[in-house]
Amino acid sequence: MSAAEKMSRRDEMETLLPFYLNGSLEGSDLEAVEEWLATDPAALAALGEAEAEFSSTAAANEAIRPPADALSRFARALDAEAGPAPAPAASSWLRQAWNRFTAVPVGVAWAAAAALLALVVVQSFMQPSGKGSDFEIAGQEDDLAKMPFALVKFKPDARMSDIAAFLGQNQLKIAGGPTVDGVFRLAVPAKTAADYEKLLGLIAAQPFADAVIEGRKPVDGG
């Protein structure tokens, strides 16, 4: 018989009291302690003693104060372990919109076609036209990068001719993409936020547009 088995009922109850106080006791042990507390006059005094131990133990622990800079030092150790943290996203709403946006499935065939479309549109934009002998490709790229833009995804069954015609009519330029998810960055030639939103509404209304989200809007008055 083990030492635990040899315990008297009082010993057993005294052993369980700390667990009764911390709320972790259950089942037959809980019933036994509650029955003891209800029937033995010495039990309530014992419970008071255990409560005093509880308080003293808590005080002894709480007296130990962790260093105030523990979290910052841990963050540095974590970065050393896992590498530098990725740059923070622009904003939560943009991140959520992007996640929804890229969650739209894209057919492999369309992704390939989209890449081809991007090549065709950008090349046609960047090639000098008949009277554009002074055309500067680098300058045009810079301009595109500085322009307001939107992120657009086309439907897998969209026709390239429809898209190209729409872009041309509205002076929209493909400035980047497609990503692996078939997302294009579309330069939007809008001078005001109102113009920008109007154009985005127009794009979104096209039957070939699968999803459109705002990118950089023009600053009004600028």
Partner 1 sequence: MTAATETDRALVDRVAKGDRAAVRLLFMRHHARVYRFVARQTGSEMMADDIANEVFLELWRQAPGFEGRSEVSTWLLGIARFKALSVLRKRKEEWIDDDDAAQIVDGADTPEVVIMKEDKGAALRRFVDALPEEHRTVIDLAYYHQQSVTEIGEVLGIPVATVKTRMFYARKKLGEALKAAGYDRGWP
| List of residues contacting partner 1 (CB under 8 A) | 2-4, 7, 10-11, 14-19, 21-25, 42, 45-46, 49-50, 52-62, 64, 66-67, 70-71, 73-75, 77-78, 81-82, 85
- Taking alpha carbons only, the member of 218, 222, 216, 211 closest to residue 106 is 211
- Between 81 and 134, name the residue whose CB sits nearer to partner 1: 81
Please state the closest distance from residue 177 (CB atom) to partner 1, in A. Answer: 27
Please state the closest distance from residue 14 (CB atom) to partner 1, in A. Answer: 6
Maximum CA pair distance of the chain?
107
Please state the closest distance from residue 115 (CB atom) to partner 1, in A. Answer: 30
Q: Which two tokens stand for residue 88?
A: 């923070």
- Between 33 and 163, name the residue whose CB sits nearer to partner 1: 33
- Between 10 and 198, name the residue whose CB sits nearer to partner 1: 10
Question: In this structure, which amino acid lies at residue 122?
Answer: V
- Between 74 and 135, name the residue whose CB sits nearer to partner 1: 74
Please state the closest distance from residue 95 (CB atom) to partner 1, in A. Answer: 13
Per-residue exposure over 118-150, b if at least 16 CB sit within 10 Å of its own CB, e if not: beebbeebeeeeeeeeeeeeeeeeeebeebbbb
At residue 187's C-alpha, the angle toward residues 111 and 137, to 5°, is 95
Please state the closest distance from residue 59 (CB atom) to partner 1, in A. Answer: 6
- Between 24 and 171, name the residue whose CB sits nearer to partner 1: 24
